[in-house]
Amino acid sequence: MEIGLDVVAVIGFFVAVGLLLLYDRKNIEFNYGLIIRRWKRGQYVMDKWIFSHRKFLEIVGTIGIVVGLIAAVVGLAAIIWLTTLNQQAVSPVLPTVGGFEYPAGVIGVPFWFWIVSIFVILTVHEPMHAIFARLAGVPVRSWGVMTFFVLPLGAFVDPDMKKVSRLSLSQKLRIFAGGSFGNFVTGAVVAVVLFVMASTMFVQVFVQSTIPNTPAAEAGVEGKLLSVNGIETRNVTELGMVLREVPAGSTVEVATESGTYQVVTAELPKGGEGSYLGLSFGTRMVVREAYSAWNDVIFTLYQLFYWLFIFNVGIGIFNMLPMKPFDGGHMFEAIFARFFGDKFARTAIHVTSFVVLGIILINVFGTNLIKALI
């Protein structure tokens, strides 16, 4: 790991968090490295807004229930399906800095993207639980944040669960589904922002490598692809359109950023009209010339919003899986209890939780183990 400016900035962040915790030490709970800071103020302001928008929030909460149940079913089905295909569907996502790389199966996210994404997730997720708890008249005893020493872990709200247990099924489900629904809404908004930002960029094709024993390999083609026979080829689709009109055995002029090459085309491996060069392509997003002055800013924001989308949608789905202590587990336990009684519900959700956990562990560790053995 290189000691660069980003490493220094991260160290500075941890020092700042440590000093803040030290300054506020009279108000924190410390338990074997887990630090909790609680607040109780602000509920009156929240209540005033909630009760003046009761009808709207009830509709939003009901939509959240439907979306949450769909996410639970689709998420679990996707994990099972990908596990049968020996593909990893669930990956730990951890912050990385200074070029540090995790082993296969763990996704490393640049530290600042990770910390901003976690902050946004929790800022949306936990207040949504509080909103629907107060909408149902359940007191929220406190809310707060948690860290492991100076590493931020998450946030929480602390509703009176005894009163939650006496609510109607729809009220319970609104509370449990609210957090993930907030993340899904945030993900949808971020997707729109990404779509708008994508209009300032285009996909650029570059020659990643040449396939052995093909015309391109024999000609030594390399570099960012610019044109074929003078026709601009900015992406794979445009290249395919050009080669579709070129018979096999023809000589074409391939221009890349590394030079110009004369290549004799070959027949398509699977037959059909057109010809074949034998290029293996990579793609990258490039800012359009009109926005080139903002190149670094656009790319940084695009990456940040990309991770915001992945985190919000991923956490939203994972949190809805039918296993405790996730919100999805509480949802399904409430549904089971409504139709089959409390005793059956407790047993059913315990069994379901173990089964789902087993599937996740097989997916996370089993797929990589099988790939390693193969």
Residues 236 and 320 in one domain: no
Residues 178 and 216 in one domain: no
How many percent of the chain have pLDDT more than 70?
Answer: 90
The SS3 of residue 183 is: helix
The verdict on residue 94 lying in a domain is yes
Residues 244 and 366 in one domain: no
Highest mean pLDDT among 19-33, 96-110, 215-229, 317-331: 317-331
The SS3 of residue 317 is: helix
Q: What pLDDT does residue 320 have?
A: 95
Of 232, 267, 287, the residue that ends a domain is: 287
Token couple for 14: 């941890």
Given a cut of 70, whether residue 284 has pLDDT beyond it is no
> Tokens 């400016």 sit at which residue?
5
Q: What pLDDT does residue 15 have?
A: 85
- The β-bridge partners of 28 are 37
Q: What pLDDT does residue 203 have?
A: 64
Cβ(312)–Cβ(121) under 8 Å? yes
- Kindly report which listed range (58-67, 85-94, 160-169) carries the lowest average pLDDT score: 85-94
Residues 205 and 192 in one domain: no
CATH number at residue 275: 2.30.42.10
Alpha-helical segments (H) within the chain: 5-23, 43-52, 54-84, 111-135, 161-164, 169-198, 215-219, 236-244, 295-319, 327-340, 342-361, 367-373
14: left (phi over 0), alpha (psi -120 to 50) or beta: alpha
Between 288 and 136, whose confidence is greater?
Answer: 136
Query: What's the Rg (C-alpha) of the chain?
Result: 27
Q: What pLDDT does residue 341 have?
A: 92
Residues 185 and 210 in one domain: no
How many structural domains are present in the chain?
2
Given a cut of 60, whether residue 2 has pLDDT beyond it is no
* Average pLDDT of the residues in 251-280: 82
Cβ(260)–Cβ(228) under 8 Å? no
Q: What pLDDT does residue 177 have?
A: 95
Q: What pLDDT does residue 45 have?
A: 74
The verdict on residue 294 lying in a domain is no
Residues 187 and 237 in one domain: no
The verdict on residue 216 lying in a domain is yes
Q: What pLDDT does residue 369 have?
A: 67
* Average pLDDT of the residues in 139-162: 79
- Cβ neighbours of 176 (radius 10 Å): 27
What tens digit of pLDDT does each residue of 174-199 get? 999 999 999 999 999 999 999 888 87
* Average pLDDT of the residues in 105-117: 85
The verdict on residue 222 lying in a domain is yes
Rounded to whole angstroms, the Cα distance separating 242 from 137 reads: 66
Of 241, 260, 287, the residue that ends a domain is: 287
Residues 353 and 231 in one domain: no
Residues 106 and 17 in one domain: yes
Between 223 and 262, whose confidence is greater?
Answer: 262
pLDDT band at 368 (very low <50, low <70, confident <90, very high): low
Q: What pLDDT does residue 78 have?
A: 93
Q: What pLDDT does residue 372 have?
A: 60
Residues 127 and 181 in one domain: yes
Model pTM score: 0.76
* Cα angle 35-40-44, degrees, rounded to a multiple of 5: 155
Q: Average per-residue pLDDT in the chain? A: 84
Given a cut of 60, whether residue 77 has pLDDT beyond it is yes
- Kindly report which listed range (200-214, 268-282, 334-348, 354-368) carries the lowest average pLDDT score: 200-214
Burial class from Cβ neighbours inside 10 Å (0-12, 13-18, 19+) for residue 274 reads: middle
Of 241, 266, 287, the residue that ends a domain is: 287
Cβ(263)–Cβ(252) under 8 Å? yes
Nearest alpha-carbon partner for 178 in 140, 129, 133: 129
Residues 96 and 175 in one domain: yes
Highest mean pLDDT among 98-102, 340-344, 365-369: 340-344
Residues 212 and 330 in one domain: no
The verdict on residue 293 lying in a domain is no
The verdict on residue 130 lying in a domain is yes
Given a cut of 50, whether residue 61 has pLDDT beyond it is yes
| DSSP assignment string, 83-96 | HHTT------EEEE
- Kindly report which listed range (9-18, 66-75, 215-224, 234-243) carries the lowest average pLDDT score: 234-243
Highest mean pLDDT among 250-259, 260-269, 333-342: 333-342
| DSSP assignment string, 158-169 | EE-HHHHTTS-H
Q: What pLDDT does residue 220 have?
A: 85
Residues 64 and 163 in one domain: yes
The verdict on residue 211 lying in a domain is yes
Domain that holds residue 205: 201-287
* Average pLDDT of the residues in 115-129: 88
Between 173 and 108, whose confidence is greater?
Answer: 173
Q: What pLDDT does residue 1 have?
A: 47
How many percent of the chain have pLDDT more than 90?
Answer: 32
The verdict on residue 292 lying in a domain is no
